[in-house]
Chains A and B, each alone.
Chain A
């Protein structure tokens, strides 16, 4: 009976329409740093807040890791000798301003791109750092967990910043034009102190850059809310 089959289809359609809707409209993001395909529906302010939260956490954890590492491995006289010759920060070549006045003159686009650049340049070195830390005999569990956590969060931060760029600047997906600086090669078996100092430098540089990221993002937020006070 054509009538009954038509009725059946109508009934099915009526029953299934919520599911169709959910397919069309993706669910609200629960995770802040979800991929672009999954979570396009989060608001910009909320996303920015969460990105800032992420950056704050990363900075704090990196600071804790640096202190832990310093206490555990770096002999006291050497503690101030970070950034000695040969152990410069890997990101020093990046054209990032480092005074408040300069930063205030940066545009939103510049800020966001700088953050993305920083994040991307640190993904690989952190992975490398994890492997070297595992080689230490008495690296504490806490330190290893912290560095692991940081490298994971860095990836989600990257995603969040990309989404933010897309939202705020209406740009498309950015290709990874920033070549990753592969300067951390393990040449042979370095001496213990050397490797310690190198890792120490790495950690302190990362801490610095994390602070940069956090500051840039905060400045960005300030501009969003109240452009007059933030200059």
Chain B
């Protein structure tokens, strides 16, 4: 234990000893040149320092020699001694204009009195050792003040040092400004400028600022000394109202107002931001089919040949182009002419119809001018009966082979009836005649038999321009009692509307024959138009509410299920 301590102790002692020895052995620094400096590129001075050799501080103890533009290894005789040892301060040699060659290469040596010892030497070009004097005449003027009175800008100006010959262009100076608030230790440095003025922005009021400037030669390395500092102080009455708090309050108010606006206009905004998604819709197909997933019907519709598919109507109101796929199951709504509309057409409503309600008074007029629809003889479209308010319309279904479009007769009361079904004979049963089907059937059968050999004709009501009295020649088709139906309907139209049917003459012969069979149709029949039959032998009724009279495409051959076969249909031409 004791041995250990002694070992450590000896170690420390050795260390201390070496330390003392080391410091003692360091020789005192010999005299050395501290630097040669020129202030104006015309003169320069060299200074040296004696640290510990105080006995050499007498003038003349150390001598300075220089040589100009010659290598320093030249023999001593070529060296010149300092032209002037400064009197105002010791250890300095001053080279005046006569001894200064600007673009020359100087070598300077510091030697002892007897020239034996060379203490130090230095080599330089005069233009490299330039450190200009500090600028003079630094002062400031107020530029402007901020609105709140908390900050201000000043313009500093100064003059170049007198020693530097700037006017002649002998020296080009660059200035650097530094400023700080007296409380802080860090100086803000402004970029170099060549002019003798510079602005400082954003100084705080009620704070004491200190500004100083120094310069260097353009292209030089070192700066000169700093000028005397100038103190800038502006006091102002800054309102104690905290501006930050005001801003926060203002922004909060704005946010609150915005929230109020959003909440009050929530619905409108929701509509704008999140528009309602339209339901599934394929034009011409009942959306109910799409929704309820009746794929069979859907595929049958979509898989139909193009000519049997429901046409896309140009009528922008007529967005309810639905096909009546199954007459047994789909029913046309019974709409009275004068009754209030009730949007009851099940399955035919179009959600994105764009109308506020179906009781749009403009509808009939629009429907009146609805464009023509090309119709093929095999197509019978059922249109959704809309609610005609007052005006009438008559849509003429044309039986020709799709050349002439569907024609709407103006000034015709829209009359609808409800197709209650299709009989096995192929007749389309309309709702007023439901009660009398049996009677009528017999009647109509009689008429049918009477006119067996007559060509079946579809009645077309002409509009003003006439010419649409096209007749459907079924050929083998026997006229059905649906003729009578039609005629009945026509008569009812007559009776109800009391208006001239523009093309009344043409169907008149048919009316006559069946006038007797006309019975008063109690309610106002609402008609639709059967426009065609699709591949699945279902009647396609036009959803348009403007049909009177409707045309019924009848089969010539009664099929068991009461549908027209497509091949039969094709033979039916208008």
Contact = CB atoms under 8 A, between A and B. Distances in A.
Interface of A: 56, 59-60, 63, 67, 80-85, 92, 98-101, 104, 204, 208-209, 211-212, 214-215, 218-219, 221-222, 226, 229-231
B167 A230 contact: yes
- Nearest 6 CB-CB pairs, A to B? A218-B169, A85-B71, A83-B105, A80-B123, A98-B103, A63-B219
16 contacts: A59-B219, A63-B219, A82-B105, A84-B71, A98-B102, A98-B103, A98-B104, A99-B102, A100-B97, A211-B127, A215-B169, A218-B168, A219-B168, A222-B167, A230-B167, A230-B168
B219 A229 contact: no
Nearest to A80: B123
A101 B167 contact: no
B49 interface: no
> What's the dominant secondary structure at chain A's contact region?
helix
A158 to B, nearest CB: 20
B172 A83 contact: no
A63 to B, nearest CB: 5
Contact of A218 (B42, B100, B125, B172): B172
- What band does the interface of chain B fall in when counting residues whose beta carbon is under 8 Å from A? 20 to 34
Contacts of A204: 125
Looking at A59, A67, A98, the one whose CB has the most chain B CB atoms below 10 A away is A98
B101 interface: yes
Contact of B103 (A82, A212, A226, A230): A212
B73 interface: yes
Interface in B169-191: 169-170, 172
B122 interface: yes
Contacts of B97: 99-101
A5 to B, nearest CB: 64
Contact of B41 (A63, A82, A100): A100
A101 B168 CA distance: 12
A57 to B, nearest CB: 10
Contacts of B10: none
Contact of A229 (B42, B73, B168): B168
A222 B102 contact: no
Which interface residue of A56, A60, A204, A208 has the most chain B CB atoms within 10 A? A208
A135 B377 CA distance: 94
Interface string B125-162: 10100000000000000000000000000000000000
Contacts of B124: 80
Given A222-B169, A231-B168, A60 B219 contact: yes
Interface in B25-56: 41-42
B103 A211 contact: yes
A56 B172 contact: yes
A60 B217 CA distance: 11
A134 to B, nearest CB: 26
B218 interface: yes
A100 B100 CA distance: 9
Nearest to A212: B103
B321 to A, nearest CB: 67
Contacts of B105: 82-83
A77 B167 CA distance: 39
A81 B107 CA distance: 10
Given A80-B123, A82-B105, A208-B103, A100 B42 contact: yes
A219 B103 contact: no
A222 B103 CA distance: 21
B172 to A, nearest CB: 7
B69 interface: yes
A229 B41 CA distance: 18
A200 to B, nearest CB: 13
Contacts of B101: 98-99
Given A81-B123, A85-B71, A219 B102 contact: no
A222 B69 contact: no
B234 to A, nearest CB: 38
A36 B125 CA distance: 37
B170 A219 contact: yes
Choose among B42, B71, B219 the residue with the greatest number of A CB atoms under 10 Å from its CB: B219
